[in-house]
Amino acid sequence: MNINHYTYRVTWSPDDNEHIGLCAEFPSLSWLAPSPEKALAGIRKVVSNVVADMQANKELIPEALSEKNYSGRFIVRVPSVVHRSLATEAAEQGVSLNRLVSAKLAM
């Protein structure tokens, strides 16, 4: 397990008036700091400690998103009226429904 492969993000927290470090694989963890660099260092340290604790307790450790394989395929349920509207828009543009939705998701 390499904590460097996890997905980290730093953003501004207006409620706390500080930067907040986050890790997508551990959504319940965060670290507040006055600078983005310190927020990133803080969340990385917290994740490191949590992973070490999980390993010691033989708990399942989340896989890094960057190490997962994605097929490029997923199913989304939408109301029939939305499906019809998208199918109509795709037909009008002369593209497949899949291509239209993929383009919209990529925006």
Q: pLDDT at position 1, please?
A: 75
- Taking the domains of the chain in order of start, what are their residue ranges? 3-66, 70-106
Between vectors from CA 1 to CA 45 and to CA 36, what angle results, nearest 5°? 30
Residues of the chain with pLDDT under 70: none
Q: Which residues touch 77 (CB under 8 Å, ≥6 apart)?
A: none
Three-state secondary structure call for residue 36: helix
Total H helices, total E strands in the chain: 3, 3
Contact partners, residue 40, CB within 8 Å, separation at least 6: 8, 10, 21
The H-or-E segment that residue 11 falls in is: strand 8-13
Q: Global pTM?
A: 0.76
